[in-house]
Amino acid sequence: MKKEVLYNKKSRELLTEELRQEPFERLTCSFYRYIHIDNPELFRDELYRNWNAFDIFGRIYVATEGINAQFSCPEHHWEAFKKNMDSTTTLAKMPLKIALQPGESFYKLTIKVKDEIVAYNLEEDEYDMQHVGRHLTAVEFNRALENQDTVVVDMRNYYESEVGRFTDAIIPDVDTSRELLPEVKRLLHGKEDNTVLLYCTGGIRCEKASAYLVHHGFQNVNQLGGGIIQYAHDVKAMGLKSKFIGKNFVFDARMGERVTDDILGVCHQCGKPADTHLDCGNDACHILFIQCDKCNEKYAGCCSAECKEFASLPVAKQRLFRKDPEKVVSRARYSSRVKPRLNDLN
């Protein structure tokens, strides 16, 4: 009996071209839920069958502790897709966060079973998901930011905060989720009795982070309900002043959604104001970096002159050089800060 294939086998080039030829629009969306899943592998396979039937594209992580999903759905399948979600106990009545801006986000469906749905690498005795921080609305979060005893913490990685953040937020100097919680606890030492406000892209990182801080003795932990995405929707709908400025970094091909017109980042090559993240055009590099329009033209979407030169070589020669690490361009030559590879983002 032929085994069912529950993953995509087409090339990236073909999938990308098929996406661009689609005669319909897609909605990009995200959600998460901490809920016990007895058999993540079985749940993963059932989810793939269901979502593939709706032409869903995206990146979904499943673990015993729950599900974390970022995806796009064809508009004409949206209502049927939501009905299908509500038909399952695990996904019923799921709060769905629609992207702030449209654009090509994902080109295939990838569903993976993980140890954690956010890669904090925590031991089970370091948190209790039954005791998390209080979820605040946009109005409540704005009001809390005005209190003198409030400490606001960005629960994202440094490269996300480079292009957008809440004013006066503590920005942990980390590049991966694994480094984040110990660093936040260190930065908040002595502030256990302060009002702590946490925020992240969609709320999932704050959920476990708040449980971690509560477990470690912080008395008044709060989190932005629905994250920056929901906050941006709400301040616009209610006519509030956005206290989040700049762009919201997102983990898909768009790499950012503009919330306000403020440009907080700088080009990693020339230092001029810029907030467009790119995946280096050199396939042997793929560093994530910020580049202005002028440098984009100068370096052909690459992070350095060396990468531009390497990317201009015939593909056969590039493949030959990749077999010799000394001939592949160093990934840290253009900045004192080593930027993550796009494929390594959590």
- 67 φ, ψ (degrees, to nearest 5): -140, 140
Sheet containing strand 195-199, strands side by side: 134-136, 220-224, 195-199, 150-154
Given the residues 29, 200, 292, 295, the one annotated as active site: 200
To which residue do tokens 């809440």 refer? 166
Pairing of strands 150-154, 97-98: unpaired
Active site residue 295: no
Q: How far apart are CA 49 and CA 35, in angstroms?
A: 21
Residue 150: burial class (beta carbons within 10 Å; 0-12, 13-18, 19+): middle
Of 223, 69, 220, 95, the residue nearest 155 (C-alpha):
223
Which residues are known to be catalytic?
Answer: 200
